[in-house]
Amino acid sequence: SKLVPLAACPHSPDNVKTVEEIGKIKIDQVCIGSCTNSSLQDMRKVAHILKGKTLGMIFEKSSTRTRVSFEVGMYDLGGMGLFLSSRDLQIGRGEPVEDTARVLSRYLDGIMIRTYKHSDVEELAEYAQVPVINGLTDDYHPTQVLADLITIKEHKGHLEGIKFAYVGDGNNMTHSLIVGGIKMGMSVSVACPKGYTPDAEIMKWAEQTGRFTCTDSVLEAAEGADVLYTDVWASMGQESEAEKRRKIFQGYQINKDVMAVAAKDAMVMHCLPAHRGEEITAEVLEAHANEIFDEAENRLHSQKAVLVKCLGQ
C-alpha cells in the first residue's frame, strides 16, 4: 500500500504499532550494534541505495534540521531531495492537496511534508501513489523521535527501562515521544501546566501500560529521571500566543534545581530550536551540548533509515 507508517503517527491506538516498527527498523539499520557517530559518518557515502530516486520535501513551516538532514540524506544515498516551499507551490494559492498529491506522484519517488493540520498529511498519503513521510504536523513529529531514540541508546546503551521525563507543553513533540518511548519499553513522565497536557487519547493508551504519568509538578516528573527532555513553550503556528504562554509556562524549565532531582548521570535532550531562559537555562543546555547536538546529528542517520525503508526496493 502507498500508506507508509510514518505518515500515520497515531490518531488511534491501533496505529501506534507503526511507530514501533519504524523505531525498530531505525535502530537496527542505523544504529547497528555499537555503531558510533563517527562510524555512521564513515558510512555516509558508501551505499547509493537510492540512486536515481527523488524525494519532494514540502515545507509549510520553517526548518533547519529536518530540511537539511532529509536533503543531505537523499544525496548521500545517491538520490536527490527537492525543497518545495508552500510559498512557491500552487498549494500555497489553494490548489487542493488531493491534486498536488496525484501530480507529485507522477514525478517523485516519495514525498515528505511539514505542515499544520495532521489531516493534510493523511489526505496527501491517501491520494499519493508514492510513500508520504510526516516531517512534523501540529500533532506529531515522528522523525525527530527516531533520532531521539538512537541518541538515548547511544548514550545509555539501551532503551528498555529508561526513565524518561518531559517538561513543558503537551505538544506534537510530546505526543510522538510518549508513543515512541512507551513502545520502546521506557517509562515516561510528563510535566505540563493545566490546560496544556497532551492529547487525552494518547495518554489513555500510554496509561494502560502502567509506565506513564502526567503531572503539573516538574520536580515530581523529573525525580530520578535518566533522560530529561524539553521543547519550546510556543510552537510554530502559535506565535500570537507566545506572550501569554511565557506567563503560563513559567517554571516549566530544565534548570539546575530540576537536574538536582534527576539521576546523577541524567541526559538532557532538546529537539531544537531552543529558547534559553525559557524552557531550558543556557547553563544546562551548554553542560549537555554534547548530547543535544548528537541528537541533532542523529536526524541525518535516522532519516536515511526512514528513506531506505520508504523509498528503497
Residues with a known catalytic role: 114, 141, 144, 231, 271, 299
Q: Which is nearer to ligand CP, 5 or 135 (CB)?
A: 135
Whole-number Å distance between alpha carbons of 211 and 181 = 10
First-residue to last-residue Cα distance in the chain: 14
Residue 172 or residue 303: which is nearer to ligand NVA going by CB? 172
Give residues with Cβ within 8 angstroms of 87, minimum separation 6: none
Q: Indicate which single residue of 18, 66, 174, 176 sits in contact with ligand CP (rule: CB under 6 A).
A: 66
113 vs 6, 12, 86, 129, 292, CA distance in Å? 11, 21, 10, 15, 24
DSSP 33: T
The residue among 109 and 231 lying less far from ligand NVA, judged by its C-beta, is 231
CA angle, residues 92, 94, 95, in degrees to nearest 5: 100
Cell for 282?
543556557
271 touches ligand NVA (CB under 6 A): yes
Note whether 225 and 266 are within 8 A (CB). yes
Q: CB of 112 within 8 A of CB of 55?
A: yes
Q: Is 65 in the site for ligand CP (CB under 6 A)?
A: yes
Q: Residue 231 binds which entry of ligand NVA, ligand CP, none, with Cβ cut-offs from 5 to 8 Å by kind?
A: ligand NVA
Pick what 64 binds: ligand NVA, ligand CP, none; C-beta below 5 to 8 Å, kind-dependent. Answer: ligand CP
**Positions in 139-178 near ligand NVA (CB under 6 A):** 141, 171-173
Judged by CB under 6 A, the residue of 104, 150, 165, 232 near ligand NVA is 232
User: Per rule CB under 6 A, is residue 238 in the interface with ligand CP?
Assistant: no
The listed partner (ligand NVA, ligand CP, none) that binds 172, CB under 5 to 8 Å by sort, is: ligand NVA
Shortest spacing between CB 267 and ligand NVA, in angstroms = 18
Cis peptide leading into residue 96 (ω within 30°): no
- Region from 63-71, 160-168, 244-252, 285-293 binding ligand CP, contact rule CB under 6 A: 63-71
> Within 10 A of 29 (CB to CB), how many other CB atoms are there?
15
Which residues are 55's β-sheet partners?
81, 110
List binders of ligand CP among 132-191 (CB under 6 A): 136, 144
Amino acid at 81: G
- Segment contacting ligand NVA by CB under 6 A, of 6-14, 88-96, 159-167, 232-240: 232-240
Among 309, 299, 312, 313, CA closest to 73: 299
SS3 at position 229: strand
Q: Name which position in 49, 236, 261, 263 contacts ligand NVA (CB under 6 A).
A: 236
Q: How far is the CB of 144 from ligand CP (least distance, A)?
A: 5
Residue 130 near residue 108, CB atoms below 8 Å = yes
85 binds ligand CP (CB under 6 A): no
H or E element at residue 294: helix 289-311
Of positions 231, 278, 279, 291, contacts ligand NVA by CB under 6 A: 231
Nearer to ligand CP (CB atom), residue 105 or residue 134: 134
Tell me the backbone φ, ψ of residue 188, rounded to 5 degrees: -125, 125
Interface positions with ligand CP (CB under 6 A): 63-66, 136, 144, 271-272
Interface positions with ligand NVA (CB under 6 A): 141, 171-173, 231-232, 235-236, 271
